[in-house]
Structure 1
Amino acid sequence: MDPLVSVVIPCYNRARTVELCVRSVRQQTYPAVEIIVVDDASSDGSAAVAASAGATVLRLETNSGPGAARNLGAERARGEILFFLDADVALEPGSVAAAVAKLRSTPRLGAICGVLRPESLLSHNLIAEYRALQMYHWWLAREGPMEGLHTALCAMRTEVFHEIGPFNPDLRHTEAPEYGHRIRQRYDVHSTAAIAGVHDHDTTLRVLLPKVFLRARASAAEVRRGEVLGGAASRVLASGLVLAAALTLPLPLVAWPGGVAVPLALVAVAVALDAGTYRRVVTSRGARFGLRFAAVHLLYQLTSAAGAAIGSAQRLLRRATWRATPSVGVPR
């Protein structure tokens, strides 16, 4: 008998996409599925849209974040397997079946994550197309064992979830990597293209870049010794080089013309470190789009590195403050 899969969908103001999300789950080839949408105090009618699409809807009275929403859904779920899915992702038909097969065949596997396809669900402009391609090539490159966890489309056995414990509801931007750290203390985490979906991406830098900054800052502020949150070491280094290039832009004012070479060289090395992404984008979309992609990508990397730098500084300051504060009742 096929084990029941509970698809848990945290939802905050996703009336535009949640119907497509729920419909994609109802169209899965796997027969035993329940759909739980947890409405995180939306103000746009998302709960009603999800209910009319055929989902069981749970409601949080106050906006509590995706971690709290997933926890509530997991608490009410009846399935042997939990499949977490973002409300702005439409799942491909064989994804739930692939997740079940992977989890049943590999006892050491604590969680299995999917990938996002290189197109946007509803939004179509340069920024949405950039983000779709960037996430696709970065996530696809991680197929196989993962250091962290992403919860846009991710499945795990219910018993594993209860063993590891709930998502930390206090973390709004880093609940997924933090959970990944905990689960990897006991199990493996893998990613596979057999589980896939199409995400509705942001369409403006005004929306995208603040998200990137906040996530990078939060990740760096909470990073543990030996961890690299948010991507491969080469990509982290590439982003750092883009930040260094921005900081050295005034050099030509004091060292002309030699100072021009420094930021250009730093950017060139950053591009070389991420050459695979650029190559695939140019191959699939052409050189003209590749140049536009590169411009947005450099802004993305600059923003990410700036957030990580501030988060790292906050972590070091917190550590220094903790060391400088005498323990109560302990003579110094």
Structure 2
Amino acid sequence: MRGDVDVSVVTAVHNRGVAARNVLRSLACQTLPPEAFEVVFVDDGSERPLAEELAAEMATLEPTFKLRVLRHDTARGVQEARNAGAAQADGNVLVFLDADCLAHPGLLQAHLDAHTGRQVAVCGYTSVRELTPASWRLLLGDDWDFGDPVGVADRMERTPLLHDPLCELLADPRPSDWAFFWTHNVSIPRWAFEQVGGFKSDFPAKGVEDIEMGYRLARTGLPTVFAPAAKAVHQPHDRLRGRDIVQDRHNEQILVDMYPTLEVEAVCSYDIVRSRELVPAIQRFARALDPATSDCARLEELPGVCARIATAGNVLVMGDPAGWPTGLRPPDAICFPVDTRERPEPGRETARLPLLGTRIPYPDDHFELGLVTDYWRSFPERTLSRILSELARTCRNVVLLSGVSAAPLQQADPALAAALDAYDHPYWEFTVRLRRELHEFEIVERERAGTTAAFDLCERLWETSDLRTAISAPPSRRPAQASA
């Protein structure tokens, strides 16, 4: 019978038996009565089955709670493991806790309290999510006993480095906080989990699948809120952080493909923390944007471009399609953050992407031709370069238009430029390099008719290096110019 207990803790584990045993110990120390919760471990294809190891640990614990262990003989991925655990759970509230996360004694009570009287998804706080054993020893010492969760929890309160800065950051709720639905330490009503269909299996590896669920929950009216008292400590383990960052960027592209909206694009383009400030700024920009600054009113003055459009297999337009020449078939896709009134001819479907253009939900070289109207003038150079790079990625040929719109802007939108200058610095750009200057593109004029012009654009090869390489192998210099 469902609803037998208040809380079900669901944990997926793969080859981390010691960490999982420590998690069990931390759950035995909960202030929530043991009869009020259960624990479901899903052993997702560990090389050595963990059921006996976890049962042996459980036998040493007092007071006891209900434990069940499910086994996948072959790893199916964290999404399916969590779904399998949730399907077996009896609790009214599901708490997802990573197998590396030691629960503070008050964690389950804090999650349960956060659900009282409201329909929400809840994210707790997890300290030092990224430390390896070596970096933990360097920063915090080697005298920590993760087998003593109460001692760790007590020491955590007295160690400033273990304070989670999200406590202050997230004290001011924002609509994009669904992006903090991180399953190292979250909870959700079981009925909501079942209603949205659990975790999706579209992601090839761990990462972003939890954020995707947070977004689906938000779309159904269940916001993500924060419970500072629901604390956990992430037990350190070796990891390839650079690989994880690259994998997250891949999974984010899947997220944009699923939900091409301004807020999802912002979260994936500017990272989760910075997007909290940028999402409102971008939405204000989109509401205030005059389509006349970005339309195709004078495109017919460039017959060479029109001829290229006519023979192109498929075309992406970045900007407002208003004024599109009547003799040309409509574009195959339009990327523009304003809902335009232009509609395609009967029998032809145009994909409409209400995005800035920093992330385009298409694979590499999908379009034969990409056109950007004077819409590009809305952005400062750093962000414009990112948009042009996305065009160059998704389009085999890119044409940058100038003067084709009815009322082109004279400068980038000041309010948006100020927000982007402050927050367009995603933390992961040290691993995934972003184009930031127009110098990184070759821009060649191909056609001009008075003030209207078209430029072919492609990315230049751009040497990157670390300081060690730059110092040890200085580039050759051109001879100094003689003075006049």
TM range (shorter): 0.5 to 0.7
- CA–CA distance in 2 between the matches of 1:193 and 1:214? 29
Aligned amino acid, residue 76 of structure 2: S
- CA–CA distance in 2 between the matches of 1:157 and 1:19? 26
Q: How does 1:95-110 map to 2 (within 5 A)?
A: 95-106=107-118, 108-109=119-120
- CA–CA distance in 2 between the matches of 1:23 and 1:57? 15
Q: CA deviation at 1:65?
A: 1.0
Aligned amino acid, residue 200 of structure 2: N
Evaluate the alpha carbon distance shift between residue 121 and residue 305 of structure 1 in structure 2; reply closer, same or farther with a 3 A threshold. closer
- CA–CA distance in 2 between the matches of 1:124 and 1:61? 32
Aligned amino acid, residue 224 of structure 2: V
Contact 1:18 1:49 in 2 (8 A): no
Q: Deviations over 1:34-79 (max 9, x none)?
A: 0110000011454433232223210112211111011011100111
Residue 165 of structure 2 corresponds to residue 142 of structure 1: no
- CA–CA distance in 2 between the matches of 1:135 and 1:235? 21
> Which structure has more RCO (C-alpha within 8 Å, separation ≥ 6)?
1
Which residue of structure 2 lines up, in the alignment, with residue 170 of structure 1? 202
Superposition TM-score, scaled by structure 2 size: 0.46
Contact 1:27 1:93 in 2 (8 A): yes
Greater Rg by CA: 2
Which residue of structure 2 lines up, in the alignment, with residue 311 of structure 1? none
Which residue of structure 2 lines up, in the alignment, with residue 40 of structure 1? 44
Evaluate the alpha carbon distance shift between residue 235 and residue 6 of structure 1 in structure 2; reply closer, same or farther with a 3 A threshold. closer
Q: CA deviation at 1:123?
A: 2.2
Superposition TM-score, scaled by structure 1 size: 0.65
Q: Deviations over 1:89-115 (max 9, x none)?
A: 001011110111111222x31x10111
Contact 2:114 2:227 in 1 (8 A): no
Name stretches of at least 5 consecutive residues in structure 1 with no aligned partner. 245-269, 276-296, 307-332
- CA–CA distance in 2 between the matches of 1:305 and 1:56? 45
Equivalent residue pairs, number: 253
Name stretches of at least 5 consecutive residues in structure 2 with no aligned partner. 59-66, 141-159, 279-381, 386-419, 435-484
Contact 1:128 1:202 in 2 (8 A): no
Q: CA deviation at 1:129?
A: 5.5
Q: Report % sequence identity.
A: 27
Evaluate the alpha carbon distance shift between residue 160 and residue 221 of structure 1 in structure 2; reply closer, same or farther with a 3 A threshold. closer
Evaluate the alpha carbon distance shift between residue 128 and residue 40 of structure 1 in structure 2; reply closer, same or farther with a 3 A threshold. farther
Evaluate the alpha carbon distance shift between residue 50 and residue 184 of structure 1 in structure 2; reply closer, same or farther with a 3 A threshold. same
Which residue of structure 2 lines up, in the alignment, with residue 28 of structure 1? 30
**Alignment partner of 1:232 out of 249, 258, 273:** 273
Contact 1:18 1:46 in 2 (8 A): no
- CA–CA distance in 2 between the matches of 1:235 and 1:183? 18
CA-based RMSD of the aligned residues comes to 3.8
Contact 2:44 2:81 in 1 (8 A): yes
Q: How does 1:120-269 map to 2 (within 5 A)?
A: 123-125=133-135, 136-138=164-166, 141-143=169-171, 144-145=173-174, 146-148=177-179, 149-171=181-203, 172=205, 173-186=207-220, 187-203=222-238, 207-223=240-256, 224-226=260-262, 227=264, 228-229=267-268, 230-233=271-274
Contact 1:113 1:150 in 2 (8 A): yes
Larger helix fraction of residues: 1
Aligned amino acid, residue 164 of structure 2: Y
Q: CA deviation at 1:27?
A: 1.1
